[in-house]
Copies of this chain bind each other. A is one copy, B any other.
Amino acid sequence: MMKHKAAHTLRSPLNTNIFEDVVALPAAILKRSAVDNNIEWMQRFADQSSVCLAPHGKTTMAPALFKRQLKAGAWGITVATAYQAQIAAQAGARRIIIANQLLGQANMALVAELLAQGLDIYCCVDSVTNAETLATFFLQQQLELACLVEIGISDGRCGVRDQKQARQLAESIHALEGIQLAGVEFYEGVAKDKASVESWVQQAGGFCLQLHADGLLQHHTALLTGAGSVWYDVVAESFARLALPDFITPVIRPGCYITHDHQLYHQAQQQIKQRSALAIQLNGDLIPALELVAFIQSIPEKGKAVLGLGKRDVAFDAGLPQVIALYRHGKKRNVDLQHCETTKVMDQHAFWHYSSAVQPQVGDMVVLGSSHPCLTFDKWRCIWLVDDDYHLLETIETFF
Instruction: List the interface of chain A (C-beta within 8 A of B).
Output: 1-5, 7-10, 21-25, 58, 63, 80-84, 86-87, 90, 100-101, 103-107, 109-110, 126-127, 129-130, 133, 152, 154-161, 295, 297-301, 306, 308, 311-312, 316-317, 346-349, 351, 361-363, 374-375, 378-379, 381, 399-400
Contact = CB atoms under 8 A, between A and B. Distances in A.
Interface of A is mostly: loop
Residue picked from A130, A308, A346, A375, most chain B C-beta under 10 Å: A308
A109 B158 contact: no
Contacts of A84: 5
A1 B105 contact: no
B24 A103 contact: no
A300 B362 contact: no
A160 B127 contact: no
Contact of A25 (B103, B156, B379): B103
Contacts of A126: 298, 300
A5 B362 contact: no
Given A103-B363, A158-B306, A161-B300, 16 more contacts: A1-B90, A8-B82, A8-B107, A9-B106, A10-B109, A25-B106, A58-B347, A58-B348, A80-B348, A101-B308, A101-B362, A157-B349, A157-B351, A159-B300, A161-B301, A379-B400
Nearest to A159: B300
Contacts of A374: 311-312, 347
Given A127-B299, A300-B156, A348-B58, A83 B25 contact: no
A22 B106 CA distance: 6
A133 B363 contact: yes
Contact of A10 (B5, B106, B347, B378): B106
Given A1-B87, A306-B157, A378-B379, A363 B129 contact: yes
Nearest to A304: B155
Contacts of A10: 105-106, 109
A312 B59 CA distance: 10
Given A298-B126, A362-B130, A1 B399 contact: yes
B375 A311 contact: yes
26 contacts: A2-B86, A2-B90, A5-B81, A5-B83, A8-B82, A8-B106, A21-B106, A23-B106, A25-B107, A58-B312, A100-B297, A103-B308, A103-B362, A103-B363, A126-B300, A127-B298, A152-B300, A157-B300, A157-B351, A158-B297, A158-B300, A161-B301, A312-B378, A347-B374, A347-B375, A378-B379
A191 B215 CA distance: 68
User: Number of copies of this chain in the oligomer?
Assistant: 2
Contacts of A80: 347-348
Contacts of A7: 83
Given A156-B300, A158-B306, A127 B83 contact: no
Nearest to A365: B104
Contacts of A82: 8, 24
Contacts of A83: 2, 5, 7-8, 24
B300 A311 contact: no
A272 to B, nearest CB: 21
Contacts of A312: 58, 374-375, 378, 400
A351 to B, nearest CB: 8
Which 3 pairs across A and B sit closest by C-beta, in order of nearness?
Answer: A158-B298, A103-B295, A24-B106
A144 to B, nearest CB: 20
A155 B80 CA distance: 42
A400 B316 contact: no
Given A311-B317, A349-B157, A379-B400, A297 B1 contact: no
Contacts of A86: 2, 8
